[in-house]
Structure 1
Amino acid sequence: MFRTEDVPAEDRGEALREHLSRLHAPLDLAGGPVADYHAELRLLRLGNAFVWPSVFGPVEVRRTPRLIRQSDPEVFHLSMIVNGTVGAHMDRRDSVFGPYEFRTNHSSRPVDIRTGIRGDVVEAVSVDVPSARLALSPDRVDRVLGRKMTGRAGIGSLLAGFLTSLTAESGAYTAADLPRLETVLVDLLSALLAHETEAEDRLPPETRSRTLALEIQSFIRRRLHDPELTPGAVAAAHHISPSYLHRLFRTHVPGATVGGWIRRQRLERARLMLGDPAQRALPVHLVASRCGFGHHEVFTRAFCAAYGQTPRDYRQAALTRTPPASPPEAKPATDAGRG
């Protein structure tokens, strides 16, 4: 964790410049932050990829032709703006980025980045990945640099969800998880860039397969309330055969059938709702209905089998702050936030 408050006021500008340069590539700060300037950055290493959530006050950062000639690690950078506004000047074009928009640049290209252009504090999650790890040619990547992309729909929403979950739950991961998480990150970045350049067919088959599995998992979670959500309905919505859907799950969600995974997600959502103090007045049968269970008795039996308690007893225990531990089989399977 880097925080400007941990550095003497007169050294904060240089300390911030050095820290950012280590994360991406050598950079300059235009002018320098004021004495009470606030910034903090936290680094998550996923193999060769860096993910770093940050908070910045207004500051201007430049990657100049001189710095590029001195050192170019050939790194692709993406920032997801969470709060605030960021301006960028690249290739004679000015752009402004707001919440849940992606901003990109590359260490081999000059860029001028201004955080907090409206005097606001900027929260972001940034990614730096060696260009060689992306599943697209450099010319395809170049077409996207500086372009505004959304994190609210399609592949962008999958990437945004992954980054949000990764940074919120980083303490839950072990060293054994890191290669898998790096693969998911690179797949989602490559899929986003391919979508933006209409080059999905140029992605390797394994990248397309893994990304489709993540899309399907996200689709299922958004529709858990629908009692008609079946493997057949999921396959039809994605224009694939049921047999191919089952093969995808066998490959990318080991140990889970499609129907079993849907049921576990429904039960887990119900468990969270039952333990939520804000929903204590919601009758148990409505919790069941909102999680896609058409019959209260079926829900109760399934919940008891998964958690060893009736839904009513679980709620009472959870709301008195003595919830039982969730058994391993009741936890969500691999998803966009966990790989």
Structure 2
Amino acid sequence: MVVENPSGEGGLPGQESFEFWREVIRQSRAADMTSDHVETFTGQVRQHQLGPVTVLRMSVPSLRVRRTGRMVRRVDDESYHLTLLTRGRGVAQGAQPRPESALAEGSFHLVSSSVPYDNLFFDPYGSGRQQPRVEALGVDIPMSLLPVSPDRLRAVVGRALPGREGSGALLAQFLLGLDRQGAALRPVEASGLGMAVVDLMSAWLARELECEQALTPETCHRELVESVRAFVRRNLHDPTLAPPVIAAAHHVSLSHLHRLFTEHSGGETLAAFIRRQRMDKAHRELADLALRTLPVQAIAARCGFPRAPEFSRAFKAAHGLSPREHRAQALSSTRPTIS
């Protein structure tokens, strides 16, 4: 679901725009929302339903979200709301006497429907003719799906959590990828990816709390596979990238890695995944207008192929055209015509 309600010509005026947007968000969380930019408000929401998990991308000029003790007592759907701030800043105030927590771009913030909170999100750089924008990815997840108890999780609820390293960075990149590809997912895929979000979130929170023993073997296995996928994408340029290297980097045996990866990848082997990622990257970069002056061999090297003949054979086997034929065809279709 994508909801856009711009103010101005052809759209709702600011106040009506804000009320419309607020009603959309209230469908997923019972909280009071206000903004310093109500009169000129424009908001965007993109929502993907992944089985029991909901992923939302939001863009607003500013927002204050409050859930009071009275709201908690009146209705509690026993859910967590995780926010990844991708643009702007925030100030989070949880249950007293916890001090305020400053939120920066790239950080996570977890709130519980069972605990009051008061969070402010704003853009410190927006001014003049350019309206401020705050952008974030949110995850709504039932408490019952996480293996860590709510009592244990209270230690991290309401404060800023790192999203740029370790399992936090892995979760952040996974969510960003989900948002980009969500519209293309089939229902069966969406449900499986929802459980992958649960597993990655569980592993990340367990490590933050130093209680990895609470994780099920299945959760640990899923996290390992996602970590391997991310490692492959980061190192496609390395011609030595191969299953033995990846197993050593993740401190697991090669046979264990092969078995888990194939089991959690619909039968695709790790070696096949590496080849596919390399060919997909080469296919994109050869068709990229910004890289048109880069020699084909340079793109081959960026994809882990130091020898041109090997690259040409692999590319033609994967895509049915030679690298040069694909580039010529792709660039001719994007080159502007002169009439």
**TM-score after normalising by structure 2:** 0.89
In structure 2, relative to structure 1, the CA distance for the partners of 1:61 and 1:254 (3 Å cut) is: closer
Q: How far 1:144 sits from its partner (Å)?
A: 1.4
The answer to whether the Cα contact below 8 Å between 2:48 and 2:183 also exists between their aligned partners in 1 is no
The residue identity in structure 1 corresponding to 2:28 is L
Equivalent residue, structure 1, for 2:337? none
Cα offset for 1:63? 0.4
Q: Does 1:300 align with 2:312?
A: yes
Question: Which residue, out of 48, 58, 65, partners 1:61?
Answer: 65
Q: Find the counterpart in structure 2 of residue 112 from structure 1.
A: 118
Give the corresponding residue for 1:20. 25
Matches within 5 A, 1:1-339: 1=3, 3=5, 5=7, 7=12, 9-12=14-17, 14-25=19-30, 27-29=31-33, 33-91=37-95, 92-116=98-122, 118=124, 120-321=132-333
Higher mean C-alpha deviation, range 106-115 or range 137-146? 137-146
Distance in 2 separating the partners of 1:197 and 1:288: 43
Contact (CA 8 Å) 2:84, 2:107: kept in 1 or not?
yes
Structure 1 residue matching 2:102: 3-state secondary structure:
strand
> Cα RMSD (Å) of the superposition?
2.0
CA-CA distance at 1:176 after TM superposition: 2.3
- Report the Cα offset of residue 309 of structure 1: 1.1
For the Cα contact (< 8 Å) 1:56–1:115, is it kept in 2?
no
Kept in 2: contact 1:80–1:101 (CA 8 A): yes
| Conservation of the 8 A alpha-carbon contact between 1:100 and 1:151 | yes
Q: Which amino acid aligns with 2:101?
A: S
SS in 2 for 1:218: helix
Q: Which AA in structure 2 matches 1:59? A: L
Deviation at 1:4, TM superposition (A): 6.3
Q: Give, in whole Å, the separation in 2 of the partners of 1:198 and 1:307.
A: 46
**Would you say the 8 A contact 2:60–2:135 is kept in 1?**
yes
3-state SS, counterpart of residue 283 of structure 2: helix
Once residues 290 and 142 of structure 2 are traced to their aligned partners in structure 1, the CA distance between those partners, rounded to angstroms, is: 44
Contact preservation (8 Å) 2:239, 2:306: yes
1:219–1:138 distance in 2 versus 1, CA, 3 Å? same
Residue 325 (structure 1) aligns with = none
Aligned-partner residue type, residue 107 of structure 2: E
2:15–2:41 Cα contact (<8 Å) kept: no
Deviation at 1:225, TM superposition (A): 0.9
Quick one: which amino acid aligns to residue 3 of structure 1?
N
SS in 1 for 2:155: helix
Contiguous gaps of at least 5 residues in structure 1: 323-339
Aligned to 1:335: none
Q: What is the CA-CA distance between 1:183 and the residue it aligns to? A: 0.7
Q: What SS does structure 2 have at the residue aligned with 1:93?
A: coil
**TM-score, normalised by the number of residues in structure 1:** 0.89
Superimposed CA distance per residue, residues 246-296 of structure 1 (whole angstroms, 9 cap, x where no aligned partner):
111220123322222212211211111111111111111121112111321
Alpha-carbon distance between aligned partners in 2 of 1:216 and 1:311, rounded to the nearest angstrom: 28
Deviates most, 225-234 or 136-145: 136-145
Secondary structure of 2:136's counterpart equals strand
Q: CA deviation at 1:11?
A: 4.5
Structure 2 unaligned spans of 5+: 127-131, 335-339
Distance in 2, Cα, partners of 1:293 & 1:230: 13
Deviation for aligned residue 1:161: 1.4
Corresponding letter in the other structure for 2:49: R
Asked if the contact 1:24/1:75 (under 8 Å) is kept, the reply is no
Stretches (4+) displaced over 6 A: none
Report how far residue 42 of structure 1 moved.
2.4
Change (3 A) 1:108 1:242: same
Contact 1:13/1:32 (<8 A) preserved: no
On the 8 A contact 1:4/1:16 being kept in 2, the answer is no
Change (3 A) 1:243 1:3: same
Bigger Cα displacement from structure 2, 102-111 vs 12-21: 12-21
Task: Name the count of aligned residue pairs.
Answer: 321
Deviation at 1:31, TM superposition (A): 7.8
Residues 39 and 54 in structure 1, CA contact (< 8 A), matched pair in contact too: yes
Shift of 1:17: 4.0
Aligned to 1:331: none
**Cα pair distance change 1:288/1:22, threshold 3 Å:** same
Report the AA paired with residue 256 of structure 2: Y
